[in-house]
């Protein structure tokens, strides 16, 4: 629900500052009118609508983060899709197709798969996450994947990549926060002030994915 809310305020963000309020029950409210003292600034209206250099993308704290997604509609470069380092990776065909649809670097999708399931399409976590990209049933349903379809590699990768792309958009291209949201839930990241939540699993997960991505990405 929070992802939908964040996407829903995208157009408003271009006109005014956006504030967020996290209720005690975990629900999240966005507004451009902070009429409650509990509201905190979530997104400040940029002074310029177009950045001169993609590396200036707000909150892109890792060098090259802007290349992970096309924030202004720029399509992923063919060379990135044809990365020879990925040629022999399992499920490469499905990963490339998902990368084309989401403008994500396929190496990043592979890095998430390695951390989540190590390419085991039948993997199931203690919390009920399933498949290559370890999707919870509710998350999968958000992207049109039924419970009985979650372990199908093509649909699992497509939904997982779309979720990751939405998280990158939600967190202004900050891949660390997007990965933290993928692991702990976007609500947890927002609740902790748009920082990586203080969970041991999440704080180990983010650098592990980034390390794998660094090994696989096109130089």
How is the chain split into domains, by residue range? 1-49, 52-216
pTM of the predicted structure, to 2 decimals: 0.69
Which residue shows structure tokens 């649909």? Answer: 155
Cα angle for residues 129, 130, 133 (degrees, 5° grid): 95
pLDDT of the residue at 17 = 63
106-116 and 175-184 are packed helices; what angle lies between their axes, rounded to 10 degrees? Answer: 30
Q: Any idea what DSSP says for residue 121? A: T
Dihedral angle sign, alpha carbons of residues 32, 37, 38, 43: positive
What Rg do the C-alpha atoms of the chain give, in angstroms? 17
- Which residues are catalytically annotated? 116
Q: Any idea what DSSP says for residue 76? A: P
pLDDT along the chain (219 residues), means of 10: 42 51 68 75 47 34 43 72 95 97 95 97 95 96 94 97 93 92 95 94 95 92
| Alpha carbon distance 108, 210 (integer Å) | 8
At the top level of CATH, the class of 52-216 is: mainly alpha
Sorted by sequence, the CB contacts under 8 Å of residue 155 that are 6+ apart come out as 145, 149
CA nearest 164: which of 78, 209, 211, 104? 104
């Amino acid at each position: 629900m929070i992802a939908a809310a964040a996407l829903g305020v995208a157009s408003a963000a271009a006109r005014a500052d956006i504030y967020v309020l996290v209720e005690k029950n975990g629900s999240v409210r966005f507004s451009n009118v902070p009429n409650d003292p509990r509201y905190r600034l979530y997104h400040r209206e940029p002074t310029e609508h177009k950045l001169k250099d993609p590396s200036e993308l707000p909150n892109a704290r890792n060098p090259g983060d802007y290349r992970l997604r096309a924030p202004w509609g720029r399509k992923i470069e063919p060379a990135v899709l044809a990365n020879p380092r990925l040629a022999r990776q399992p499920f490469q065909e499905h990963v490339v197709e998902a990368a084309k649809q989401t403008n994500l670097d396929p190496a990043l999708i592979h890095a998430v798969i390695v951390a989540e399931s190590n390419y085991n399409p039948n993997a199931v976590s203690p919390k009920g996450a399933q498949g290559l990209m370890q999707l919870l049933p509710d998350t999968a349903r958000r992207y049109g994947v039924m419970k009985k379809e979650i372990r199908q590699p093509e649909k699992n990768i497509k939904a997982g990549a779309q979720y990751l792309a939405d998280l990158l958009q939600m967190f202004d291209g900050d891949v660390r926060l997007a990965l933290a949201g993928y692991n702990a839930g976007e609500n947890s990241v927002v609740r902790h002030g748009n920082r990586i939540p203080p969970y041991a699993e999440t704080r180990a997960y983010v650098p592990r994915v980034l390390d794998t991505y660094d090994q696989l990405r096109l130089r």
